[in-house]
């Protein structure tokens, strides 16, 4: 007999269409929560933030309502849904939900058990709280960019993924929400969560922040193992132009690597700062003699901490990921069938499945309001007024 999903019975209202909050609810939905995306009603000439149909896993497993939160009837409809919800997550600029009349205090009056999560770039208070920003900005202020690699002109390199949105914001919110739900189970009370993406980035750079605060050492590119100080933790190009990632930190792994590359004479000099450029040159010369995948086949199983630097296209065909069943099929109402990344967090069922991906025009508003106890005539009147769709 199969077990219920971890968050079965938990209802989440999601007021965001993109960014950290949308990353968060993607994970919550994969763990079994009923996620209801709250979108604005269609308006003639109105511009709405609408992600591409394939983004955020194409909304698989989620419901959708369309509500005009500025209309009194729309606000009332939202609060009817909120009264039966467990979690609300929003990503407006600080202060906006309170002005709309749907903030934590407003919802708490109809639902004392609500876990209300606000995600923002810099937090709900402080001198930077009203700053606009995106992923790159939060990685910048949190020291992440400064300690990373450099471009040819000496500037910090652009990151290869939306690390701040996905983890410092999205996963940060997931952890906070799950912890709040656990505490609510014990106390019966909900709570307000102020998730700052910039705060979350500090957790990523905490090794360096704590090192500076404790020792006065100023971290930056090349200051230590993880920022490029040593040749054994670096990237090297193979004969075919593709790249390999080398992370042979432990002495045993470094010894295995040097032996396999014919660089045994460099084994005693692993952390000798004066010899690092010579070691890098030797590693570059060795890796340049064979193609990337040949090196991976030889080195990866030999405790050398070597891995291929995959393109996105390559990783979608990797046998390890295929074995882990991380890719699934989606069937979209307008765009048909396509592959996508499936649920990948630990504990989620990865049984092969085809997921239904709803179109952007779909709405579950009337059905969900009926479920919340709103009489049919009231729903019809709200539709006529344009408060819901």
> Which positions are catalytic?
134, 165
Is the Cβ–Cβ distance between 11 and 34 less than 8 Å?
Answer: yes
Query: Are the CB atoms for 165 and 19 separated by under 8 Å?
Result: yes
Alpha-carbon distance of 304 to 224, in angstroms, equals 20
Look at residue 39 and give its three-state secondary structure.
Answer: strand
- Assign residue 160 a region: left if phi > 0, alpha if psi is -120 to 50, beta otherwise? alpha
232, 254 Cβ separation under 8 angstroms: yes
Task: Tell me how far CA of residue 78 lies from CA of 131, 181, 192, 342, in angstroms.
Answer: 28, 21, 18, 30
- The burial class, CB within 10 Å (0-12 / 13-18 / 19+), for 71 is middle
324 and 350 in contact (C-beta within 8 Å)? yes
One DSSP character per residue, 164-222 reads IIIIIIIIHHHHHHHHHHHHHHHHS--EEEEEEHHHHHHHHTHHHHHHHHHH-----TT
Phi-psi sector, 202: left (phi>0), alpha (psi -120 to 50), beta = alpha
Give the separation between CA 95 and CA 75, rounded to whole angstroms: 16
| C-alpha span between 380 and 388 (Å, rounded) | 9
Q: Name residue, tokens 């994969």.
A: 30
């Amino acid at each position: 007999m199969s077990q219920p999903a971890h968050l079965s019975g938990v209802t989440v209202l999601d007021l965001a269409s993109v960014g950290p909050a949308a990353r968060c609810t993607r994970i919550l939905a994969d763990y079994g929560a009923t996620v209801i995306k709250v979108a604005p009603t269609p308006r003639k000439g109105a511009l709405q933030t609408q992600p591409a149909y394939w983004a955020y896993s194409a909304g698989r497993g989620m419901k959708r309502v369309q509500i005009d939160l500025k209309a009194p009837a729309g606000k009332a409809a939202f609060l009817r849904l909120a009264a039966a919800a467990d979690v609300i997550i929003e990503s407006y600029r600080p202060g906006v939900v309170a002005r709309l009349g749907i903030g934590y205090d407003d919802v708490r009056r109809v639902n004392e058990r609500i876990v209300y999560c606000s995600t923002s770039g810099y937090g709900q208070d402080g001198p930077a709280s009203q700053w606009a920003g995106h992923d790159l900005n939060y990685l910048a202020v949190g020291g992440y960019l400064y300690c990373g690699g450099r471009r040819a002109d000496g500037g910090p390199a652009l990151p290869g993924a939306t690390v701040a949105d996905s983890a410092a914001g999205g996963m940060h919110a997931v952890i906070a929400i799950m912890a709040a739900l656990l505490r609510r189970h014990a106390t019966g009370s909900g709570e307000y969560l102020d998730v700052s993406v910039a705060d979350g980035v500090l957790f990523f750079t905490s090794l360096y922040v704590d090192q500076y605060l404790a020792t006065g050492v100023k971290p930056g590119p090349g200051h230590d193992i993880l920022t490029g100080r040593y040749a054994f933790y670096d990237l090297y190009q193979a004969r075919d132009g593709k790249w390999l990632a080398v992370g042979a930190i432990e002495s045993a792994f470094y010894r295995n690597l040097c032996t396999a590359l014919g660089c045994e004479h460099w084994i005693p000099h692993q952390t000798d700062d004066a010899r690092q450029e010579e070691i890098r040159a030797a590693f570059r010369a060795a890796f340049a003699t064979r193609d990337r995948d040949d090196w991976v086949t030889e080195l990866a199983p030999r405790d050398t901490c070597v891995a291929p630097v995959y393109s996105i296209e390559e990783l979608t065909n990797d046998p390890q990921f295929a074995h882990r069943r991380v890719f699934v099929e989606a069937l979209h109402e307008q765009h048909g069938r396509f592959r996508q990344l499936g649920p990948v967090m630990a504990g989620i069922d990865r049984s092969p499945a085809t997921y239904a991906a709803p179109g952007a025009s779909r709405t579950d508003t009337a059905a969900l309001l009926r479920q919340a106890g709103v009489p049919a005539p009231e729903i019809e009147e709200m539709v006529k007024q344009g408060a819901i769709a």
